[in-house]
Homo-oligomer: A and B are copies of this chain.
């Protein structure tokens, strides 16, 4: 028998009545603020074409590595979950069967943010009232599926219903951004901006680097085999991205290492990179040099630079062969910033007009490295609790470890960082609630006055994201 499912209005607020009352008051001030989503992975084509999302399995399970990694960890195969293979193996094609498997195992998400996000969507977006389980799987499937086909569930309608003020996608510098253009041309008032993610032409170890570089050359008319031409080509693409609203770049490298070499050394690295003969160390330096170049270009075009280091990508060799990239097998590794960022900081660290936003998957650096760095250098700001740490306890640890040294003003508000469009309000809701709970504790323990906490809550929910990303 299924249990009731509701969203308690006090969820994620402290149990202590004094703090709970404070958290409620703070939350009342921020809950209706528009969503600013400065970093994420939704598909611009959705907005251009104003799509309806597909069936529940293709919406919630198949594309979401947060969801299927837990199922995989408990021995449920990618095949049974209908994850598309890259090696031709057969996978389940019946979305209802996939959904049932998910529903039967919904208990696995107990205590995880996935559970909170999913239930938020089930209740708020689809009006469901029973906790998902094997018994109600079919009924839930039909209930969701029917709504997904309606006009009210087209992406633009949801965008408006979700009160999204602006959302950033993440895009290849080789992309012509036709979908962003189409959104602009359509007259729809929703703001969808690209972000410039040049890894495929800025990391010599990226698959197809030489081919990508050739394409970059063609696209820009620059001779990308010359260091200066290569930089001009990237600057040109950044300019193009800016015309469609882009305000930021993003870099997903293994480490935070930066470099600041002279041009001849850069040319020598580029020569090797194009020949595919960089050693791992040289590839690392190349990437580090590119971080510095990206910031240098920001002096001209003003883009904000995001650094997302520390993930060992595609750790699961067998799954990677069978199912390709991004299948939940990216595992964080130890990361270092103090030495790694020094070449960049020596050059640009004290420039208050530039912004580099740092993320980490290694919580041990929060209080040791990131807060002291961002609490000192004008260049640096700290991104929110990221990925595995985008969770109530992860966010709480992030605030506890960073605020005392870096303050609130050296942080940038929340990023949902998702391709799961329907979960965006859920994720912002969690972040706002956790921040209000955190602030309630500061007020209840007389570390902050309530009028200030209101101001900070608004900053964290809305203002800092807009300002930091210049949106």
Q: In whole angstroms, how far apart are the Cα atoms of A446 and B391 in the complex?
A: 14
Contact of A362 with B by CB under 8 A:
yes
CB interface residues, A 376-397, toward B, < 8 Å: 376-378, 380, 388-389, 391-394, 397
B407 pairs with A109, CB closer than 8 A:
yes
Among A5-13, A49-57, A278-286, the stretch in contact with B: A5-13
What 17 additional pairs, Cβ within 8 angstroms, besides A73-B374, A393-B400?
A3-B449, A69-B376, A72-B378, A73-B410, A75-B378, A108-B407, A108-B409, A111-B403, A312-B339, A318-B346, A333-B339, A364-B364, A367-B389, A372-B388, A391-B404, A392-B404, A393-B401
The reply to whether A110 and B448 contact each other, CB–CB distance below 8 Å, is yes
- Which chain B positions have C-beta within 8 A of A456? 110-111
Residues A15 and B441 in contact, CB atoms below 8 Å apart: yes
A332 to B366, CA, bound (A): 11
Interface contact A368-B445, CB-CB below 8 Å: no
**Pick the contact of A331 from B73, B317, B376, B446 — CB < 8 Å?**
B376
Cβ contacts under 8 Å, A455 to chain B: 107
A336: Cβ under 8 A from any B Cβ: yes
User: Would you call A97 an interface residue if the criterion is a C-beta within 8 Å of the partner chain's C-beta atoms?
Assistant: no
A-side residues, CB < 8 A to B, are 3, 7-8, 10-16, 18-19, 69-70, 72-75, 107-113, 115-116, 131, 312, 315-319, 328-334, 336, 338-339, 342, 345-346, 349-350, 352, 361-364, 367-369, 371-378, 380, 388-389, 391-394, 397, 400-401, 403-410, 441-442, 444-449, 451-452, 455-456
CB-based contact A74/B409 at 8 Å: yes
Instruction: Determine how close the nearest CB of chain B comes to the CB of A76; give it in whole angstroms.
Output: 8
